[in-house]
Chain A
Amino acid sequence: MERQNPFFTAFVYASALLLAIVILAPLAWLFVMSISSAADLSAKPLNWWPDEIDLSRYRALLSTIENTAGAAFVASLLNSLTVAGMATLAAIAVAIPAAWAVSRTPTVSWSLFAVIATYMLPPVALAVPLYMGLAYLGLLNSVFGLALVYLTILAPFTTWLLKSGFDSIPREIESAAMIDGARLDQILRLLTLPLAAPVMATSALFAFLLAWDEFFYALLFTSDLRAKTLTVAIADLAGGRVSDYGLIATAGVLAALPPVLIGLVMQRALISGLTSGGVKG
């Protein structure tokens, strides 16, 4: 092994410290803003740590008293959960049979490229007809309409992830069961799908995060509490005339919490997924 000289070791620790600060400082500041009083946040020179910890904004945003900022925030939170949940379930449901078929049938594997190619399409290329179509169906400003539109992103994406998941399950297991006289539906139900359960869970999680993060379609296709998602609600707060920056920061912390927790808990699966597919921009 290489013997490290002390200067190099010091350099490594200094760089590691710098990297940790670069990553953590903006996040820590978001949190500090959310617990600082308005006076602390508008002080000059700025108070980097509040004199008194102020949790009132968390209470305000998570309250469900009608016609308050809280009610609007909770409604958008529930909309985000509903839309992301429905879109994920629908995407997984159509992706599982397709991904298995592509994985096991070389003659149709080219179709996967067509599926992946659609993932590169800029959303603006679909937005105008989707808007007109949703308007025609009466699905503008509806969680169902938005979930349907999210399939443009989630369906190709989950098919792609699931296909590589099925690829890693040896097809010999399936042909052995076939020789033993098992029917295809039995093989899939009792053998392949249980083996693919971890991949399906990871794919579903990725899909959910993607839908949770989505902003462009939600901005276009939703307009009020009935369907507006969290990302749009936060953009409204940030771009509106809200003078309490702490409130905006609190909404950000709450919206970031689910994906950040999932990210930390699922680290290993996420990193292997990210590095094998180079998932998401």
Chain B
Amino acid sequence: MPGIWITTRAWLLMLPLLVVMIAVIGWPLVDTVRLSFTDAKLVGTAGGFVGLNNYAKMLGGSNFQRALMTTTWFAVVSVAAEMVLGVLAALLLNQQFRGRTALRALMILPWALPTVVNATLWRLIYNPEYGALNAALTQIGLLDSYRSWLGEPASALTALIVADCWKNFPLVALIALAALQAVPRDITAAALVDGAGPFNRFRYVIMPYLAGPLLVALVLRTIEAFKVFDIIWVMTRGGPANSTRTLSILVYQEAFSFQRAGSGASLALIVTLLVTILAVAYAALLRKAAGAS
């Protein structure tokens, strides 16, 4: 049977990948599940079975609830801002003007900048004693005295969101720009001749082309933002007063700083479940959008 042979051949060709994925993803994931039901420590004791104790302790704790709120706020605000700024930048880059190609090339720079370098750069900009933000704002008279942007719970999370947006909105802009360039010129011209105003042209002529790619960008960015660790670790380590402690930071602290592998694993699985729910909900949304257009 050639059909069976072709399927078998396909599995044989996939074998190296499958072995690697089982070794570095499949086994660790299963072992995380096992650990989450034990009181194992990271080093030393293997720990005994404790049932759902870890889950009850983590879900009921105020640390988890606060970290969930912080993560949600970070993800919603930064992704929303990235979408709006990205679409505005794309609409601009879709106009004819001198220097447009160069400006589009610049947009690749924040994306290419390593996340840790971006975090370091903004940490320097926000520096309470010598930072450029303090210097600029005081020199133009908007600020009376230097502030500790990352040192005050009231401003730290917002400062992080700004740094994250700066790195990621250009990606959304490039995706949106590619979608805008797929809008046929004669359709926009016809809408103009028919007397459609700028808002109506955007809503009824351009938006149908933008919606699909933007939704994909929204999905990927939200999931990334929900998993955020690097930028926060480098800029604030979750502080001050835990005001920027997201779920990934909390898992890191539980499993590695406090070496409680068991409860850390249960927390990690709760985060995984939340990300999965997000992904599934978005997949349904994408399918609905694909069906509608």
Contact = CB atoms under 8 A, between A and B. Distances in A.
B233 to A, nearest CB: 7
A115 B21 contact: yes
A212 B112 CA distance: 11
B289 interface: no
B234 A262 contact: no
A129 B271 contact: no
A102 interface: yes
B57 interface: no
Interface in B88-144: 89, 92, 95, 97, 99-100, 103, 105-117, 119-125, 127, 129-130, 132, 135-136, 138-139
Nearest to A19: B89
Interface in B2-27: 3, 6-7, 9-11, 13-14, 16-18, 20-21, 24-25, 27
Chain A at the B interface: SS class: helix
A123 B114 contact: no
Interface stretch (B58-66, B151-159, B202-210, B212-220): B212-220
Nearest to A246: B124
A98 B105 contact: no
A65 interface: no
B35 A248 contact: no
B276 interface: yes
A138 to B, nearest CB: 14
Given A27-B109, A125-B272, A245-B124, A46 B130 contact: yes
B83 interface: no
B32 interface: yes
Interface in B218-263: 219-221, 223-225, 227, 229-230, 233-234, 237, 248, 251-252, 255-256, 261
A249 B268 CA distance: 34
Given A213-B115, A234-B120, A278-B175, A128 B268 contact: yes
A278 B13 contact: no
B122 A26 contact: yes
Contacts of A122: 227, 248, 268, 271-272, 275
Contacts of B183: none
A215 B115 CA distance: 8
A143 B123 CA distance: 29
B69 interface: no
A13 B132 CA distance: 26
Contacts of B16: 93-94, 97-98
Chain B at the A interface: SS class: helix
Contact of B272 (A2, A121, A132, A235): A121
Contacts of B77: none
Interface residues of B, number: 99
Contact of A108 (B10, B42, B233, B272): B10
Contact of A263 (B103, B112, B119, B213): B112
B191 to A, nearest CB: 11
B211 interface: no
A260 interface: yes
A70 interface: no
Given A101-B9, A128-B255, A248-B124, A234 B117 contact: yes
B269 interface: yes
Sorted nearest first, the 6 A-B pairs with minimum C-beta distance are A281-B224, A263-B112, A46-B135, A129-B31, A101-B13, A105-B10
8 contacts: A45-B139, A124-B251, A125-B271, A126-B28, A215-B230, A237-B120, A252-B120, A271-B174
Interface of B: 3, 6-7, 9-11, 13-14, 16-18, 20-21, 24-25, 27-29, 31-32, 35, 42-43, 89, 92, 95, 97, 99-100, 103, 105-117, 119-125, 127, 129-130, 132, 135-136, 138-139, 166, 168, 170-171, 174-175, 178-179, 189, 192, 213, 216-217, 219-221, 223-225, 227, 229-230, 233-234, 237, 248, 251-252, 255-256, 261, 264-265, 267-269, 271-272, 275-276, 279
Interface of A: 1-2, 9, 12-13, 15-16, 19-20, 22-24, 26-27, 29-30, 33, 41-42, 44-46, 90, 93-95, 97-98, 100-102, 104-105, 107-108, 111, 115, 117-118, 120-133, 135, 148-149, 151-152, 155-156, 159, 209, 212-213, 215-216, 219-220, 230-231, 234-235, 237-239, 245, 248-249, 252, 255-256, 259-260, 262-264, 267, 270-271, 274-275, 278, 280-281
